[in-house]
Structure 1
Amino acid sequence: MAVQQKHQQSRAYMVLLHIFPRPVLAALCAGVMAVLLSACGDGGKETARPERAAPVVTAKVARRDVPRTLNAVGTVQPAASVAVKPQVGGQIVEVPVSSGQDVIKDQVLFRIDPRPYEAAVREVEARLLRNQVLLKKAEEDQARFSRLVRQDAISREQYDQAVANANSQRALVIQDQATLASAKLQLEYATIKAPVSGRIGEVFLDLGNVVKANDDRTLLVINTLAPAKIGFAVPERYLPEVMAQFRQGPIAVVAAPEGFTRFSSTGRLTSIDNAVDATTGTIKLEATFDNKDLTLWPGQFARVTVDLATMPDALVINASAVLEGIIGQYVYIVDAEGKAQVRPVKARFVTGDEMMVEEGLNAGDRVVLDGQLNLAAGIPVVERRADGSPANAPSDANTPSDANTPSGANTPSGGPGQK
């Protein structure tokens, strides 16, 4: 084995001689030996290189009064939405409205041919008049027979028959009166009026169409646009707070159509559902808005902000500082030595991109808003504010980062318990 190894080493040496001239090969060997001797002279220890400071955006945690708000996305609903359907049958002879028109309550929308219903009213009126005359005759006979029976001029049986005739005729009159009221109601139904004020959608049937009584077909839909309602849902954990504020007085709600925040409207919370949705873990709320300028339109998605009580002397930081990991919520802070440290926190959204810190931070702590991607506990940092100015300039932890800050604020790779 030893002979074979020597033979292989000899062959390798001959190959190197063939590639490199003997003086060059000698210089290479001397260089390698110098490096090895230098390493041995240092006792085999590596020279520690200084850690490079990571650039981060920081801000100081400050205390201030913060308005407590809830944000949600809801759907605009009309205060009333009525599908108009015919209650009597016949041919439509008049349509005095058009699609998209505003109408007021009791305004005429359709007229169905009234002639059959007018004839029915006259027929019942005539029958009622006849029976009223017969009733008067029967009542007169009853009065006359009453005198005669007291004089024993007629039998008791004849008197009883007169009483029965009068009662029967009275019942016919009452029946005719009810029939006449029904006939007049049918005639009234032939003129279809707006049950509420609002705006008409599409008119589905035109002049000349024939409809049936209580037809399932909708003639048109009226939506009451002002006031308007918005239904939305919030997590059930906020229900006690919402209920407590609701009992104290009106809760202001600000809403704006999705993508048009400049067209905001202010209303009030008017309804809280009677049960939590077990599937989603949310509670449904409803707010009402005057909507006089018609900025809210039925069916629109709207961003809703519910104003609750103001949180006094709260610790508030920008949401970009709060990260999530196996340990839960945490932030990076900068200690007195200028190094990053991990600090577990408990925070919740207050409004917009701000979060209120309930546990884990103190006023004056310097938290990292951006640049967490390059951080781990103990790494030195170079602090900057979001506008690029030095971190020792006045600032607070709810100053948001901008597009010029280091990327990766919400996706740290070195954080504890990274998900």
Structure 2
Amino acid sequence: MTLSGTLVPRVESQLAFRVPGRVVARLVDAGDTVASGQALARLDETPFQLAVQEAAADLAQAQATLARVGRDVERNRPLAQSGAIARATLDALQTQQTQMQEQVQAAHSRLAQARNDLTYTTLTAPGGGTIALVQADAGQVVAAGTPVLRLARTGETEIEVNVPESRIGQIRKEQTAKVRLLSLPDVELAARVREIASVADAQTRTYPVRLSLPEPPAAARLGMTASVRFDALSGDTALRLPITALFQQGEKPAVWILPTDAQHLQLRPVTLAAMGTHDIILKDGITPGERVVVAGVHRLDSTMPVQAWDGRLP
């Protein structure tokens, strides 16, 4: 079986600012190679610098107030002990001192957060890779968490193939394949199935399959088209049934089997390899040649006497 695929990175990251703001500079373009920690884009720092200054002023004021209250406590302590002032006066000052200590702590936290927010105005690469997509530009106002760049991380390259539901039963994890890039038709590469989607794409009704490509040629570029020829699975046959044959045994899939030498049904647990709009493909649970009920399965039970119907009317 030969299908068309696309060269993709195994890991792709959506990059976003942690704080909202106006983009003032984009420092990379699509296709640029970047290193870990490299600056990629910047927001307007002005409001964040003002926030740092305001938080620093609040902290200084809180610390000054705490120092004044502390002096008042120390000055009034001996007076309260000698009875020159009421004990309640000292208690009130100590309560105020405790409150100011809490305010100083809170001001420290606000200043630390403001400084962090200021550093977040520069978006840096979390690792080495290639800029795959630019999603924001200078002058644009972005919310925190809104993707502005997509980074294809340096590392293993893969081939993504969209397999029709009529053929997904022929694919298994760890299955080997031969790959030829359209731009390098004379170079054959070895690949291995790493991941098989369990649900079909809602639009294309195909199953995305990822194949590891451990040694791509130096001339290979992300997005290149590839021809993928899957090696045959020895001794493996895909078992396909109408979706109407599927019965849920609790939370597990099952099918009703009519053994050749019996007149009662048996409910057999099965493992699904894939599920399409009209068909299911079984990974295991039944063997070729067994008789399976394909309609009315939810009206059956194992005590009902049944017989196989050859399709002819009496």
Q: Structure 1 vs Structure 2: percent identity of aligned residues?
A: 22
Q: Greater Rg, structure 1 or structure 2?
A: 1
Residue number among 97, 113, 127 corresponding to 1:182 in the alignment: 113
Q: Secondary structure at the match of 1:263?
A: strand
Alignment of 1:211 onto 2:143? no
Distance 1:119 1:276 in 2: 51
Task: Give 1:214's aligned amino acid.
Answer: A
Task: Give 2:98's aligned amino acid.
Answer: N
Tell me if the contact between 2:23 and 2:41 (Cα under 8 Å) persists in the aligned partners: no
Distance 1:177 1:308 in 2: 65
Tell me if the contact between 1:272 and 1:286 (Cα under 8 Å) persists in the aligned partners: yes
Tell me if the contact between 1:225 and 1:297 (Cα under 8 Å) persists in the aligned partners: no
Distance 2:146 2:206 in 1: 36
Alignment of 1:222 onto 2:154? no
Distance 1:167 1:265 in 2: 71
Tell me if the contact between 2:30 and 2:133 (Cα under 8 Å) persists in the aligned partners: yes
Distance 2:147 2:169 in 1: 42
Tell me if the contact between 1:128 and 1:173 (Cα under 8 Å) persists in the aligned partners: yes
TM-fit CA distance, 1:122: 2.8
TM-fit CA distance, 1:202: 6.4
Task: Give 1:180's aligned amino acid.
Answer: L
Deviations 1:49-93 (A, max 9, x none): xxxxxxxxxxxxxxxxxxxxx54433333233345455442462x
Structure with greater proportional helix content: 1
TM-score normalised over the length of structure 1? 0.44
Deviations 1:155-197 (A, max 9, x none): 4432432233123212222222222122212221222222342
Deviations 1:128-159 (A, max 9, x none): 13312333444555566666656655444324
Cross-structure match for 2:255: none
Alignment of 1:109 onto 2:109? no
Task: Give 1:89's aligned amino acid.
Answer: G
TM-fit CA distance, 1:272: 3.1
TM-score normalised over the length of structure 2? 0.57
Alignment of 1:89 onto 2:14? no
Q: Which runs of 5+ in 2 are unaligned?
A: 236-287, 289-314
Tell me if the contact between 2:157 and 2:216 (Cα under 8 Å) persists in the aligned partners: no
Distance 1:139 1:292 in 2: 69
Task: Give 2:48's aligned amino acid.
Answer: Y
Task: Give 2:106's aligned amino acid.
Answer: Q
Provide the alpha-carbon RMSD of the alignment.
Answer: 4.1
Write out aligned runs for 1:340-419 (5 A): none
Residue number among 84, 90, 95 corresponding to 1:164 in the alignment: 95
Relative to 1, partners in 2 of residues 1:216 and 1:276: Cα closer, same or farther, differing over 3 Å?
A: closer
Relative to 1, partners in 2 of residues 1:150 and 1:102: Cα closer, same or farther, differing over 3 Å?
A: same
Residue number among 168, 180, 190 corresponding to 1:266 in the alignment: 190
Cross-structure match for 1:73: 4
Distance 1:103 1:122 in 2: 33
Distance 1:270 1:79 in 2: 10
Larger RCO, structure (CA 8 Å, separation 6 or more): 1
Q: Which runs of 5+ in 1 are unaligned?
A: 1-69, 312-357, 359-419
Tell me if the contact between 1:89 and 1:210 (Cα under 8 Å) persists in the aligned partners: no
Task: Give 1:289's aligned amino acid.
Answer: L
Relative to 1, partners in 2 of residues 1:96 and 1:282: Cα closer, same or farther, differing over 3 Å?
A: closer
Task: Give 2:8's aligned amino acid.
Answer: Q
TM-fit CA distance, 1:102: 0.9
